[in-house]
Amino acid sequence: MMKFTKQNFIFLVGGIIIYVVDIGVDFWVASKYFCQGQYRWGILILCFRGLSSLITQVFSYEWFKNDWEGTDTGKLKWIFLAHLFQCGIFIRYWFALKYGCQAAFKQKSSGDASETDPPNFIQKQAVDAVADINMLRVFKTFLETTPQLFVQIYILMEHGKNNFCQYAAIITSFCSISFSTVDYQISLRKSLPDKDEFRVLPKLVYVFYKLLTITSWILSISLMTLLNVRSSVILLIFLWICGFTWTFKQHTTFCKSKKMEYLYRTVVGIILIFTFFNIKGRKTKVCISIYYATHTIITLGILFVYMFWKPSIIKEIHFTIVSILTILSLVLGIIFLVVYYRLFHPTAYCRPQACSDEVDGQAGQRDRVEIGRFQNFIMQ
Q: What is the secondary structure of 156-167 as a DSSP string?
A: HHHH----HHHH
Contacts 24+ apart (CB under 8 A), 366-371: 367/116, 367/121, 368/67, 369/115, 369/116, 369/121, 369/124, 370/67, 370/128, 371/191, 371/192
Banded pLDDT at 380 (limits 50, 70, 90): very low
What pLDDT score was predicted for residue 348? 38
Comparing 251 with 81, which gets the higher pLDDT? 81
Residue 358 is inside which H or E element, if any? Answer: strand 358-360
- The closest alpha carbon to 163, from 151, 179, 152, 174, belongs to 152
DSSP string for 197-242: ---HHHHHHHHHHHHHHHHHHHHHHHHHHHH-HHHHHHHHHHHHHH
- Residue 13's Cβ-side half-sphere holds a number of Cα atoms within 13 Å equal to 9
| pLDDT tens sequence across 188-247 | 777 666 566 677 888 889 989 999 999 999 999 988 888 888 989 999 999 999 999 998
Banded pLDDT at 118 (limits 50, 70, 90): low
Q: What does DSSP say about strands 358-360 and 366-368: parallel, antiparallel, or unpaired? A: antiparallel
Chain-centroid distance of CA 48 in Å reads: 15
Query: Three-class SS of residue 31?
Result: helix
- The closest alpha carbon to 219, from 332, 299, 138, 143, belongs to 299
What pLDDT score was predicted for residue 72? 67
**Is 357's pLDDT higher than 60?**
no
**Is 356's pLDDT higher than 60?**
no
Comparing 199 with 265, which gets the higher pLDDT? 265
What pLDDT score was predicted for residue 160? 64
**End-to-end distance of the chain based on CA atoms, in angstroms?**
19
As a dihedral over the C-alpha atoms of residue 15, residue 21, residue 26, residue 32, rounded to 10 degrees, the angle is -160
In degrees, rounded to 5, the angle at the alpha carbon of residue 367 between the alpha carbons of residues 78 and 126 is 65
Helices (H) and strands (E) in the chain, counts: 13, 2
CA distance 336 to 209: 5
**Is 161's pLDDT higher than 60?**
yes
CA dist 128 → 2, 57, 71 (Å): 11, 17, 19
Taking the whole predicted model, whether its pTM rises above 0.85 is answered as no
**Is 354's pLDDT higher than 60?**
no
CB-based contacts of 326: which residues, under 8 Å, 6+ apart? 216, 219, 220, 223, 299, 303
**Is 114's pLDDT higher than 70?**
no
Lowest mean pLDDT among 43-52, 115-124, 230-239, 367-376: 367-376
**Is 140's pLDDT higher than 60?**
yes
**Is 49's pLDDT higher than 60?**
yes
**Is 375's pLDDT higher than 60?**
no
Q: Over range 33-50, report the average pLDDT.
A: 92
- The closest alpha carbon to 356, from 377, 374, 371, 368, belongs to 371
Cβ-in-10-Å burial (0-12, 13-18, 19+) of 154 comes to: buried
What pLDDT score was predicted for residue 195? 60
| pLDDT tens sequence across 308-332 | 776 666 566 577 888 889 999 999 9
Residue 72, amino acid? D
In this structure, the number of other CB atoms found within 10 A of the CB of residue 176 comes to: 23
CA distance 18 to 26: 12
CB-based contacts of 158: which residues, under 8 Å, 6+ apart? 226
CB 210 within 8 A of CB 288: no
Residue 187, amino acid? S
Q: Over range 134-144, report the average pLDDT.
A: 91
> Percent of the chain scored above 70 by pLDDT?
80
Banded pLDDT at 369 (limits 50, 70, 90): very low
- Averaged pLDDT score across all residues of the chain: 81
